[in-house]
Amino acid sequence: MARSVLGVAVIGAGMAGRAHAAGYRSAATVFGEGLADVRLVAVADANGDLATGAARRFGYERAETSWQSVAGADDIDVVSVVVANTLHREIVEGLLAAGKHVLCEKPYTLHPADVDEAFDAAESRGLILSEAFMWRHHPQADALRALLPEIGQLQLIRATFAFVLEATENIRLRADLEGGALADVGCYTVSGARLLAGEDPAEVVGYATLGPSGVDLRFSGLLRFPSGATGMLDVNWLTPAKRRQLTVVGEEGMFELDYLTQRLTFTRAAAGGPDLIAGYAPTFAGDVAELPVANAEPLAAELDAFLTVVRDGGRPVVDVEDGLWAVAIATSLLKAAAGGQPIDLSDFCARLTNA
């Protein structure tokens, strides 16, 4: 049974690590009495100055310079791991062996067998392991899933995650650290398409534009689902303005979700065709309604959900099946792009179903 007050640590004091550090502090303010009581214990980073600065800025008790110090600390129960992708496995395995609950930034790894092994290790020890797919905790995402029947038979899912990555020395650009746009943020689009489809893709096709370091700066993917629905993924570090959007088209209408504005709209298919002006159709829009769903800070919501599962038990929002499929689809898309051929996922689906 978890302690009544959970000791929290963050490993990694870069941009995303600082966001987690701030998130644990703000989650209690956002969610009030419903949140598990937490104690902000440590921020760890190999760069001691970064660790010290983050710990001081966000009110943590101390800074550490190794993940081993966090693993060996008796006053830490919960750890966010926010480091380069290739470092995840060693650190997460060490933390689980030390009895810590772990929230690991996505993707945990690009190797499906490692995902399975890590979640098995957590389950065998009675620990919670989850990957940080922050978008899954948007209130608008929950509303969208609940309202999907309103648009009838699903036809198309279009997921976009794009922004400009200007720093040429960013670890996301390093092939040896499993960088690339698809591995970094494309897993959000993969997760979104799979969740809304309600099924796993049977086949994927991918197209990549590689940068000087050999990783993809732009990735376009197609997912073919058994029902006949299609997923279209647009992931890139080239778009001059941030775009984080999810569109779902059905026979009776369309939902559009903008993660940045947290705006969710529903467009009903127009009856009788568009109005014509001088023989031209100025718009094909149907009846559009903005749905009144309350906003929330998504990282705080994610941390709240994780801490609540640690405190109360249950299954995390992002579980082993989510992790396995995110990796399987992402790696298959990369193989499809490299080989110029579609990749059939039916064999993986059968193996996962029979596992």
Whether 106 sits among the annotated catalytic residues: the reply is yes
Q: Which of the residue ranges 45-49, 326-330, 346-350 would you say has the lowest mean pLDDT?
A: 346-350
pLDDT score recorded for residue 48: 96
The CATH architecture to which 5-133 belongs is: 3-Layer(aba) Sandwich (3.40)
DSSP 183: I
pLDDT score recorded for residue 35: 57
| Whole-number Å distance between alpha carbons of 160 and 175 | 23
DSSP 223: E
Tell me the HSE value of 100 on the side-chain side, using a 13 A CA sphere.
29
Most confident region among 161-170, 182-191, 330-339 by mean pLDDT? 330-339
With 80 as the cut, is the pLDDT of residue 38 above it? yes
| Whole-number Å distance between alpha carbons of 98 and 100 | 6
Which residue would you say has higher pLDDT here, 350 or 341? Answer: 341
pLDDT score recorded for residue 347: 74
Round the average pLDDT of the chain to a whole number and report it: 88
Tell me the HSE value of 22 on the side-chain side, using a 13 A CA sphere.
13
Q: Which of the residue ranges 64-68, 133-137, 245-249 would you say has the lowest mean pLDDT?
A: 133-137
With 70 as the cut, is the pLDDT of residue 112 above it? yes
Residue boundaries of the structural domains of the chain = 5-133, 136-299+325-354
Which residue would you say has higher pLDDT here, 251 or 1? Answer: 251
pTM, to two decimals: 0.88
Query: Strand pairing of 216-224 and 230-236?
Result: antiparallel
pLDDT score recorded for residue 355: 52
**Three-class DSSP category at 19:** helix
User: Amino acid identity, residue 234?
Assistant: D
Q: Which of the residue ranges 211-215, 260-264, 288-292 would you say has the lowest mean pLDDT?
A: 288-292
User: For residue range 192-226, what is the model confidence (pLDDT) as tens digits?
Assistant: 899 899 999 999 999 999 999 999 999 999 999 99
* 136-299+325-354 to CATH, choices 3.30.360.10, 3.30.420.40, 3.40.50.150, 3.90.1150.10: 3.30.360.10
pLDDT score recorded for residue 30: 46
Average pLDDT over residues 167-194: 87
**Three-class DSSP category at 145:** helix
pLDDT score recorded for residue 1: 46
Tell me phi and psi for residue 309, to 5 degrees.
-65, -40
User: For residue range 309-318, what is the model confidence (pLDDT) as tens digits?
Assistant: 998 888 998 8
With 90 as the cut, is the pLDDT of residue 176 above it? no
Average pLDDT over residues 15-44: 79
With 90 as the cut, is the pLDDT of residue 278 above it? no
Dihedral in degrees, nearest 10, Cα atoms 136, 140, 145, 146: 130
With 70 as the cut, is the pLDDT of residue 36 above it? no
Average pLDDT over residues 162-166: 87
With 60 as the cut, is the pLDDT of residue 20 above it? yes
Q: How many CB atoms neighbour CB 118 within 10 A?
A: 23
Dihedral in degrees, nearest 10, Cα atoms 188, 194, 196, 199: -170
Could you give the angle at the alpha carbon of 103 between the alpha carbons of 140 and 124, nearest 5°? 120
pLDDT band at 319 (very low <50, low <70, confident <90, very high): confident
| Whole-number Å distance between alpha carbons of 58 and 25 | 7
Q: What is the largest CA-CA distance in the chain?
A: 75
Whether the Cβ atoms of residue 41 and residue 9 lie closer than 8 Å to each other? yes
| Whole-number Å distance between alpha carbons of 34 and 135 | 21
